Amino acid sequence: MWRVNTEAAHLARWWGPKGFEMKVAKLDLRPGGLFHYGMETANGQKMWGRCVFRDVAKPARLAYVVSFSDENAGVTRAPFHAHWPLEVLTVVTFAEQDGKTTLTLRAWPINATEEERRTYADGFKSLEAGFKGTLDQLDGYLKAF
């Protein structure tokens, strides 16, 4: 589970929303390191994102700040809402028991205005659905792995 969450070749196969083709531009897995990626839909819509790692504790925990970005890894506003937070801290933990790994993902806005925090809270159902799709892709990838 650690490898499929931390190696570019694996991430390119499942990371991101359903219906997007994933491109890993850079992956530097260390505190302060950058994961920069692009996503494209079948109709040519492109988006970029970036994660700056805060904590890399193999094999139990990853913490990173997620932002939308441009193709040069500069932070940008979300394409779908002008008041989406610029930074979202995400913490992923991996707990193994009896040969199975439980992945827990938590995310919340940081350095955000009150309006950005409210927008994030209002969009939680959509965010939850997006993560479900991504985790479904992970599950399918692991079954084929």
pLDDT tens for each residue of 123-141: 999 988 888 989 999 999 9
- pLDDT confidence bin for 34, thresholds 50/70/90: very high
Please tell me the distance from the alpha carbon of residue 58 to that of residue 117, in angstroms, as a whole number: 31
Q: What integer is the mean pLDDT of 59-72?
A: 97
Checking if the pLDDT of 145 tops 80, the result is: no
pLDDT digits (tens, 9 = 90+) for 67-123: 999 999 999 999 999 999 999 999 999 999 998 999 999 999 999 999 999 999 999
Question: Of 29, 27, 26, which Cα lies nearest the Cα of 54?
Answer: 29
Q: Which domains does the chain have, with CATH numbers?
A: 2-144 (3.30.530.20)
The CA R_g of the chain, rounded to the nearest whole Å, is: 15
Cα angle 68-130-143, degrees, rounded to a multiple of 5: 115
3-class state of residue 45 by DSSP: coil
User: Torsions phi, psi of 31, nearest 5?
Assistant: -55, 130
